[in-house]
Amino acid sequence: MEWLVTLVGAAVVLIILRDVFHTLWHPTRHGGLSRAVMSLLWRLSTRGRRSSRTAGLAGPVGMVTVVATWACAVAVGWALVYWPHMPEAFSFSGTLKPSEHSGPVDALYLSLVTVATLGLGDIAPSADWLRIVAPLEALVGFTLLTATVSWILGIYPALARRRALALRISQLRRAEPAERRPASDASAAVLGQLAADVARTSVDFLQYPESYYFHDGPGDISLALALGYAADLAKRTGRAEQADAGSAAAVLATALDDLATVLDERFLHTGGPRQRVLAAYARDHGHP
């Protein structure tokens, strides 16, 4: 029975480490726990009457919740590894009575101290295998801290690129004259750069799928609101007589198709064409 509890604790730790790996370091997959937590918070924040303030908190609160879940689950998992072997496999300081400090709370205390790399030393492993396992927990704690920092450093630049793309599309829309002369007047270079930015956003959604659950905000920095104009621009420019402008418009349309595919496969699941996917994306981010 003791080893069964230990194995359960080890399984919990391995499940969390797998989730961290697929969330941060495996670009073609994402962690099941992190995705489930952030998706749930997103749905709760957008249920009923939408509030941009509430939706804007979904992403940051989701990240904090995921990291806290990782840390707590690792601490509990390692506590389950220690608990069945207390007190005989541990040494205690002179002020502590082993028989009084061998419960689940003490095992959790030891696990929290170890994962936080505090190393207080009042309870320390004495069995040979535990003297190897305990430092591994400290290493996992340091890995979680590093993972959290790398996650933040990855997601927020991706958000900045997404909002910059939305602002660029908005600038093109506002710069267009009121009489809406044919969009072929837009240079091929501008459309080519726009296509490259759309492609980069597709990669960001693949690399950091949790970034989907961050609300862009209203107006010019909302990509969900701006993509409709980009699709219209590609369509109108594609009918132009200039070969360069037509080719650039075709590349932009293809980039938008790829982005719609990523959004639909990862988040929306409409199974429809690009127009339907982009409309669903806009609705999901508060733009009916």
Write out pLDDT tens, residues 195-220. 999 999 999 999 888 899 998 877 78
- What is the structure's pLDDT at 216? 80
* Burial of 25 per CB tally in 10 Å (0-12, 13-18, 19+): exposed
In tens, the pLDDT along 78-117 reads: 999 999 999 999 999 888 888 888 899 999 999 999 998 8
HSE-CB of 258 using CA atoms within 13 angstroms: 18
Query: What is the radius of gyration, based on Cα positions, of the chain?
Result: 26
In tens, the pLDDT along 164-179 reads: 999 999 998 888 755 4
Q: How confident is the model at residue 235 (pLDDT cuts 50, 70, 90)?
A: confident
Task: Supply the DSSP string of 120-164, one letter for each residue.
Answer: --SEEE-SHHHHHHHHHHHHHHHHHHHHHHHHHHHHHHHHHHHHH
In tens, the pLDDT along 5-40 reads: 999 999 999 999 988 888 888 766 555 788 888 888
